[in-house]
Structure 1
Amino acid sequence: MTRASEPVIRVEGLSKRYRIGERVARYRTLRESLTGALRRPFGRRAADGADLVWALRDVSFEVPRGEILGVIGRNGAGKSTLLKVLSGITCPTEGTVRIHGRVVSLLEVGTGFHPELTGRENVYLNGAILGMRRAEMDRRFDDIVAFAQVERFVDTPVKHYSSGMYFRLAFAVAAHLSPEVVLVDEVLAVGDAEFQRKCLGKMGEAARQARTVLFVSHNMGAISAFCHRVVYLANGQVRAIGTPDAIVAQYLADVFGDDRTDLAELRGAGYGRTLRFTAIDLAADDGANVAFGAPLRFRVTLRSDVSAQELSLGASVFSVTGTCVGTLFTRERFAMAPGEARTFSLTLAGARLAPGSYYASVSVGHGGRDGGRLDFDLVVGRPAFHVLPMSPSGEAIADWNPAWGAIVFEDTRLQAEPG
């Protein structure tokens, strides 16, 4: 097997078990320990009531050089645990992991940074950990700082950085230090749209340079657009491996087709801590069916643990392949008091979605299309609905070709200009 064809990552029979509910024993004196040993020289350890949970179970796959492998699944499916095992943060209970080359991990905001050191010092520290020479780091430093957009704060301790600054610098370091393997968990969870675009561009560039990327995300559009293959994890096991279109479609059918799915499983990582959706439903007379051209009406219920002002709702609609069809933000602003629950109706009118299946994401936060958006909660996949090939007035478009897109523009008049 040549070096080019040899897998960069090989995972065989990987399992990871955790003990939950285990009571931590108090510290004992030497006298107490000796007394206990003499009283029970042949005794067995008492049961502590802990439960065993398999976060991963018999996971196997290979990743060749230069591939971007997407990892998808519901919250709690084992995605983050898999990346932690691959990065060496935690050890597997069973199975083996073989990785050839240097690995950079971006598993959560600030991974690998020392909070007391400045941005400059952390950049050089991470380079040294990866075996980079000082002269090489000097050549790349300006590009790293410019990419992260932290020029004004590069000599400030990173403990004073916002979460967005923290992540931008961490990703910039990983993207510019030329590791053979990059492990990324939810790269689209932090940063504005422009920085997210730069991140995805860097991942594509890494693959073209024969580097390998493992990309965990709830953004099915990004998974479909940038990944060569996708692993679908469910309950710690590999449910399917294949092309992005096939695996994303299977995942969406499993998750969004089940109205019993708890909102917590559809909530983005880190959201819903102080202000959260407790119910999101489609307000339709025909269950999950919507007539072509009819307005979409969502009914959402919010509950807040804190006082929050100037809030707005946002909603995006996605096709079954994960492509975002459109997004809106409400102009109206509202407030929430601690312990308050409120229900709102959100109407999306004039979209003229083509016949087919769709799902929505709903958010609550500050800002909108007029500036940066900061969300308190984000739920992706609720509600799911079907647009019927018949309008309320009887207009039929049953022969709509999906290749024509997800929006049906209104018929327009053709006028011949005078010659």
Structure 2
Amino acid sequence: MSSGSDAGPGGGLGRGTGGGTAGGLGGRPGGGTVGGLDRGEIVLEHASRSFSVRADNAGTLKGLLIGRSAPGPPPVQALRDVNLHVAPGETLGLVGRNGAGKSSTLKVLAGIIPLQHGRAACGGRVVSLLELGAGFGRDFSGRENIYLNSALYGLGRREVEERLQDIIAFSELGDFIDVPVRTYSSGMYVRLGFAIAAHLDADIMLIDEVLAVGDESFQRKCLRRISEQIATGTTLVLVSHDAHSIERVCERVVVLEAGEVACDAPTADGLLHYHRQMGTGSGETASVRRPAGYPVEVVQLGLRDADGRAARLFHSGDVVRVELDVAARGVAVEPVRVRLEVRDEEGRAVFRTTQGVGRVDGRVPIAFEIARLALLGGDYELAARALGDDEADDLDRADRLAAFSVAREPEADGVADLRGTWELGTRAEVAP
């Protein structure tokens, strides 16, 4: 087995170098290859790993003295012949039941645990945020831990000081930055850990569930920062039970089941498989509100770019194609209208459009193409309604069917992208 990442500091902010040094330690490394891989590339080949589970009475003093102990249970197979390739700049969501092998996969990629069979390799600088508090010196202050963790990635003191205020500001810890981290709450650990990780110019970011601990406002802030990192070419592997977060930032989903890849597909299809696996119906996220008894169902909503590829991150001005199906739950329904709504981070509707479908008998595919995305940077959600003859005639209502992000650009703020030009100079006088 060849592992392309070095063991990190205890599994919190893990350090990896992808089979070689990252180079250019003061900032993001340039192009090229590292250990035969492109920067940001991830490879798992026939990866297998098991863990022994000690019996309750194994290792007791009596057992050691008489030379016998009760046989323990068979080893738990965390990974079974997993093959996975992630291209540079790709965003991958790892989902599955508890114990499916998600966290083990990230720890293998971070170099924290070795494989027993197969190969794992990462190209470039790997930054991992895996377990709460791991990797921090408990008696050191938050500020001191910034220096400590940054040094583990090869940053010199001057380089850390250049980023220090940005890290502290992002963490929102205030005066607690100079308090020993042993006094921190779980949410404060997340704030500090993510703030450091987000300013290390990673080629690859590995994030495991820890964002679920933070408050909702900080979660949104982290997701925005992740979107910014993705826009600069960072490869992301995100483990989460929150389908909404996966939808927001990931273009591809791998579903793990008992240590094996059960599904590897674009996000919409991957989450559909996951929800079926978990017994949560036809792929709707946990946040979808759909009262029982509605005669029509809006399902399988996906987002694609101008080239027809599944996407969750766009830029202002992009072509966006929204694809969904409208299905009758029983007998045919007529007439049916479908309404799409785009909502901002505060849940406010920023765009709404309605289209008549006519008669729905079985499943009807529908698409709405946005010729030019006139939204500025931020995180957005898509909601859908199926309507009858009038506004009060609800046939189906589904909130948070999909999420997407628009990359933030400098010198632009707000919601709408109103393209225009500036003119500087004297204004011509108008004749009376």
Q: CA deviation at 1:113?
A: 1.1
Equivalent AA in structure 2 for residue 324 of structure 1: S
Equivalent AA in structure 2 for residue 109 of structure 1: L
Map of 1:287 onto structure 2: none
Map of 2:285 onto structure 1: 322
Q: Find 2:54's aligned residue among 21, 35, 46.
A: 21
Map of 1:229 onto structure 2: 252
Equivalent AA in structure 1 for residue 384 of structure 2: A
8 Å Cα contact 2:284/2:299 also seen in 1: no
Map of 1:140 onto structure 2: 163
Map of 1:199 onto structure 2: 222
Map of 1:11 onto structure 2: 44
8 Å Cα contact 1:245/1:321 also seen in 2: no
Distance 1:147 1:50, change over 3 A: same
Q: CA deviation at 1:191?
A: 1.6
Q: Find 1:53's aligned residue among 67, 76, 83.
A: 76
8 Å Cα contact 1:220/1:321 also seen in 2: no
After superposition, what is the alpha-carbon deviation per residue over 1:234-289, rounded to whole angstroms, capped at 9, x for unaligned?
A: 1100112121111111111222258xxxxxxxxxxxxxxxxxxxxxxxxxxxxxxx
Distance 1:19 1:141, change over 3 A: same
Instruction: Write the distance in 1 (CA, Å) between the matches of 2:41 and 2:211.
Output: 25
Distance 1:24 1:123, change over 3 A: farther
2:385 matches 1:407:
yes
Q: CA deviation at 1:50?
A: 3.7
Could you say what secondary structure the match of 1:406 adopts? strand
Equivalent AA in structure 1 for residue 258 of structure 2: N
After superposition, what is the alpha-carbon deviation per residue over 1:59-80, rounded to whole angstroms, capped at 9, x for unaligned?
A: 1111121111111111111101
Alignment of 1:350-369 (within 5 A): 355-356=297-298
8 Å Cα contact 2:46/2:118 also seen in 1: yes
Instruction: Write the distance in 1 (CA, Å) between the matches of 2:58 and 2:70.
Output: 13
Map of 1:179 onto structure 2: 202
Could you say what secondary structure the match of 1:224 adopts? helix
- Seq. identity, %: 39
After superposition, what is the alpha-carbon deviation per residue over 1:161-211, rounded to whole angstroms, capped at 9, x for unaligned?
A: 111111011011000111222110114412222211111112222222222
Q: CA deviation at 1:395?
A: 8.6
Distance 1:144 1:354, change over 3 A: farther
After superposition, what is the alpha-carbon deviation per residue over 1:391-413, rounded to whole angstroms, capped at 9, x for unaligned?
A: 9xx99756387669533468249
8 Å Cα contact 2:46/2:117 also seen in 1: yes
8 Å Cα contact 2:100/2:257 also seen in 1: yes
Q: Find 2:134's aligned residue among 87, 95, 111.
A: 111
TM-score (norm 1): 0.61
2:75 matches 1:77:
no
Equivalent AA in structure 1 for residue 54 of structure 2: G
Alignment of 1:82-101 (within 5 A): 82-101=105-124
Instruction: Write the distance in 1 (CA, Å) between the matches of 2:106 and 2:248.
Output: 21
Deviates more, 1:118-127 or 1:88-97: 88-97
Query: Aligned-pair RMSD on alpha carbons?
Result: 3.5
Equivalent AA in structure 1 for residue 272 of structure 2: A
Deviates more, 1:218-227 or 1:171-180: 218-227
Instruction: Write the distance in 2 (CA, Å) between the matches of 1:96 and 1:130.
Output: 23
Equivalent AA in structure 2 for residue 210 of structure 1: G
Instruction: Write the distance in 1 (CA, Å) between the matches of 2:50 and 2:391.
Output: 61
Distance 1:389 1:201, change over 3 A: farther
Instruction: Write the distance in 2 (CA, Å) between the matches of 1:155 and 1:65.
Output: 37
8 Å Cα contact 2:45/2:119 also seen in 1: yes
Instruction: Write the distance in 2 (CA, Å) between the matches of 1:87 and 1:3.
Output: 18
Paired residues, what number?
291
2:197 matches 1:164:
no
8 Å Cα contact 1:221/1:321 also seen in 2: no
After superposition, what is the alpha-carbon deviation per residue over 1:324-375, rounded to whole angstroms, capped at 9, x for unaligned?
A: 3459xxxxxxxxxxxxxxxxxxxx79x97952569xxxxxxxxxxxxxxxxx
Deviates more, 1:7-16 or 1:163-172: 7-16
Instruction: Write the distance in 1 (CA, Å) between the matches of 2:249 and 2:150.
Output: 27
2:152 matches 1:210:
no
